[in-house]
Structure 1
Amino acid sequence: MQQLATTQQKAPLYEALMHFKKQRIVPFDVPGHKRGRGNPELAAFLGEDALAVDVNSMKPLDNLCHPVSVIKEAEEVAAQAFGANEAFFMVGGTTSAVQAMVFSTTKQGDEIILPRNVHRSVLNALVLNGAIPVYVNPEANDELGIALGMSITQVQRAIEEHPNAKAVFVNNPTYYGICSDLKGIVDVAHKAGMKVLADEAHGTHFYFGKDMPISAMAAGADMAAVSMHKSGGSLTQSSFLLMGPGMNADYVRQVVNLTQTTSASYLLMASLDLSRRNLALNGHDIFQQVVDYTNYVRDELHAIGGYYVFGNDLINGDSVYDLDPTKLSIHTLNVGLAGIEVYDILRDDYDIQIEFGDLGNILAYISVGDRERDIERLVGALADIKRRFERSKKGMLTQEYLEPVVAISPQQAFYAQKELLPLHEAIGRICGEFVMCYPPGIPILGPGEVVTEAVVTYIAYAKEKGCQLTGTEDLQVEKLNVVKEGV
């Protein structure tokens, strides 16, 4: 244990950058701003200290595409912190880590078992490599309007019906903090010879907090994509790709290098190095504070009434096997407001920016950087919103999860000849693009799925309530690209 703590005090890449900075090397390489001198406005905006280490790969600082020195050491220290066999720095966000997991385990025509409420990055990967999704439609909580986790029974059935599938993909947790029985899914999948891939974009703290839901590496998953920048404190776009003992890390790095930049940002990588060190040394205390803040808000809103904060009462041992105790997911419909309406009011009237609002819920992201006075301000604003805006919820749409009708593969649909039709004329046709509310970026409709009347009604209602719809060629989302018939 002492040796582990000593190792985690290191920040190899950060330390190498600081040594390099002291050397005052004269730059005749890229980037062209030359430590900020070539762009004084940018230097004033970001600071000279930041631009002094916005450098290119070189021998003393290693190379992310083929690390042999300080980046390699930093990744080894990170792997130890996460309990993984290998850890890769990812500078293309968790999107690139998720896609690397899919590309490493499947190819064109291979089946992959996954819940439909995955992030668009997963379906984007299927568009690119031609793997075939086998959807495990999660149970839904109709009162809250959210999809839950995958049940073991559903996963077992999917495996039995698709014994040649290569992998099972799991959200750990979902955006709302819902956890499936990950260990149980790993056991079932491995028995069938399938890999398990975990999207832990919102699960960094599972590795560093105390009494958290099980992490992917602890559960024996083969790969996990971890958004260090979300709850862990690193810079936006920086993430980790973790691997268990069943993966060939050298091959995975080749896959990563197919799409990841050859000009990796040392600012992003150093932020991963420092954030990992901070969480490895202080994570228990940091995330206990986060849990305490979340519980405080839950108690306060319970006393205020109207709002419901997701809690352990949702746990059923199956589709809600566990719940992320840091997640401040709040159901708003009982005060007569859609989540997106509360989202807008908080920003416009109270100068509070929360993570997202959907048709019935909001998520206020509490993490390593929050302060007590900010928590109090959020509670006060929500109490005031209830007082000012509370109304009947009659006529409000509550259902969030729409079960897809899959006709053809995402790749086949995305690259097919298409035509642009008004929403209502598209009903019954096969969609050739994505439609999603962002955040969270979970598709309402994906390529290869049938456009139903329920989907069109949902899209129209989401637009009316002010949700930010993305993914379509038509930026106004008044028309949809559908696959041409008879071609």
Structure 2
Amino acid sequence: MSIEGWEKLLDQFRTPLFDAVKYHVKRNAVPLQIPGHKHGNGLVEYKEFVGENVLRMDLNQTRGIDIIWDPTSVITEAEKLLAETFQASAAYFLINGTTSGVQTMIMSTCKPGDQIILPRNVHKSIFNALILSGAKPVYVLPEISSELGIVLSITESNLRIVVEKNPTAKAVLAINPSYYGVTSNLKSIVEAAHHNGMPVLVDEAHGTHMHFHDHFPVSAMEAGADISAVSLHKTGGSMTQSSALLIGNSGIDPLYIKQVLNLAYTTSPSYILLCSLDVARKQLATRGRQILDQLLELLKWSREEINKIGGYFAPDKVFFEESGNFSFDETKLLINVRKIGLTGYEVEEMLARDYNILIELADMYNILAITGLGERKEYLEALINALTDIARHTDRSEIKKIDAIQFNPEIVMQPREAFYSPKRSVPLEQCAGEISGEMIMVYPPGIPLVSMGEVITHEIIEYVKQLKLEKCTLQGTSDPCVNFVMVLDR
């Protein structure tokens, strides 16, 4: 390694913001400022559980720790280190989750009435961003795996068709990877969009770690994307709600993006969350590959053990690459349970109730365990042992296969207009043909079956009723039981 390269690496061992906050805590200054709990003295029960340092780190903007919406010192340095880590031209800390990053990406590139091309299986935060920005969605339908019963991702060929039909669209949004871990050929998608003068925005909420090991699908910055939003708290090691916005090297003005970001940025950020981003970046930059090497070996063993049980199928990266133009993030431990004679919902409930194991999500045929930088073999051993026990006590009659449904409802009204339109409540069974005034979605993963301004069909109603019978978590409606749905008052 060159001297310059070694000096660059040494920089990544720095945590400028965390160091400044630690100094402030040790300084023990008289706190005649916000927050009012005063080092936890006004929140004793909470302090006794979480510890005094956490509450001393709970600071408002003060001398020496910089200001998040207009940084000039330690936050600036920390964000430059973050940008360098991801090979981005600029990076911004987010402490309102990746949602704020997604909204900023869309609002930075689309004005009211502009078209944006995106997959139909996007997260609810993107639908919310359409309401805020006034952008018009043009959907690309993703492929479906009939074997696993899950939505995969979009293909370059399908994207090109949509781009050619909508040449005035202002941007293309891609998901890298999906909640299930599936990715498109992102580099080809970026090239296709750029060829037509469209910037590429990437929802990389579940892919922070992919930049740090060449076994994973290509990351957004490596693929040449213009902007990406990454949830460091999901797979990068930081605390929940902490994320980052990355700006590529294509010439998009990072200062304008910062202006848009500041429209909704809090003026009272959590320095506890910000410091976790600083330390997580250091760990990824200096030890990321080593940690991920160990995790991938552990997951290879886990998949082999699960597939030995019988009745379960835990696919790896090769399965998705052989199935089409897709790849797979192997930190997502996807397990198809259909041949065990149970639904994914039933297996999830049994794991929680009988084995004290909490997994990320379930659907009709699968469960999904998300692994991470802090994974332990004993966690995965507990899962393998539980799945073995469930299989031993289950009648292995394969459950009836129900074809995966790809909903692409007719858009009658744009999301923003529908959001502000008068609405009325209608029983679910009577909603066929009505225009939805709210989202209906399974959470997780948070992908709407129908969104605002879209026509509710009989097929959607029957699918929702089936999901209710399976006791899965449905959200987005004013009625938490989804017996009634708000529709546009026409």
Normalised TM-score (structure 2)? 0.96
Give the alignment of 1:112-127 within 5 angstroms: 112-127=116-131
Q: Secondary structure at 2:263's aligned position in 1?
A: helix
Match of 1:136 in 2: 140
Match of 1:352 in 2: 357
Partner in structure 2 of residue 334 of structure 1: 339
Q: What fraction of aligned residue pairs are identical, expressed as a percent?
A: 44
1:26 corresponds in structure 2 to 30
Q: Distance in 1 between matches of 2:197 and 2:144?
A: 29
List runs of 5+ in structure 1 lacking aligned partners.
Answer: none
2:58 aligned with 1:54, yes or no?
yes
> Would the alpha carbon gap of residues 401 and 314 (structure 1) be closer, same or farther in structure 2, given more than 3 Å must change?
farther
Contact 1:21 1:53 in 2 (8 A): yes
Q: What's the offset of the Cα at 1:52?
A: 0.7
Partner of 1:219: 223
Corresponding residue of 1:90: 94
The residue aligned with 1:362 is 367
Equivalence for 1:417: 422
Q: Which moved more, 1:42-51 or 1:304-313?
A: 304-313
SS at match of 2:164: helix
1:472 aligns with 2:477: yes
Counterpart secondary structure, 2:485: strand
* 2:261 is the counterpart of 1:256: yes
Question: What's 1:325 paired with?
Answer: 330
Residue of structure 2 equivalent to 1:430: 435
- Tell whether the 8 Å contact from 2:338 to 2:399 is kept in structure 1 after alignment: no
Question: What does residue 194 of structure 2 align with?
Answer: 190
Distance (Å, rounded) in 2 between the aligned partners of 1:396 and 1:389: 18
The TM-score with structure 1 as length reference comes to 0.97
Are the counterparts in 2 of residues 110 and 132 from structure 1 also a CA contact under 8 Å?
A: yes
Corresponding residue SS for 1:259: coil
For structure 1, which segment, 266-275 or 473-482, has the greater mean C-alpha deviation from structure 2 after superposition? 473-482
Q: Distance in 2 between matches of 1:463 and 1:186?
A: 39
Partners of 1:413 and 1:298 in 2: how far apart?
A: 45
Task: Establish whether residue 293 from structure 1 lines up as the match of residue 325 from structure 2.
Answer: no
Paired residues for 1:203-282 under 5 Å:
203-245=207-249, 246-282=251-287
CA shift at 1:412, angstroms?
Answer: 1.8
Match of 1:11, as an amino acid?
Answer: T
1:176 counterpart (175, 180, 186): 180
Q: Secondary structure at the match of 2:194?
A: helix
2: distance between equivalents of 1:325 and 1:106?
34
Q: Is the 8 A contact 1:223 1:242 kept in 2?
A: yes
Match of 1:111 among 112, 115, 118: 115
1:449 paired to 2:454 = yes
Q: Distance in 2 between matches of 1:307 and 1:117?
A: 26
Q: In 2, distance between residues paired with 1:19 and 1:80? A: 25
The CA distance in 1 between the partners of 2:371 and 2:467, in whole Å, is: 26
Q: How many residues align?
A: 485
Closer, same or farther: CA 108–162 of 1 in aligned 2, 3 Å:
same
Gapped regions of structure 2 (runs ≥ 5): none
- Go from structure 1 to structure 2 and tell me whether the alpha carbon gap of 1:232 and 1:64 turns closer, same or farther (over 3 Å shift): same
User: Alignment RMSD, CA only?
Assistant: 1.4
Q: Verify the 8 A CA contact 1:149 1:179 in the aligned structure 2.
A: yes
Matched-pair contact (CA < 8 Å) for 1:79–1:85: yes
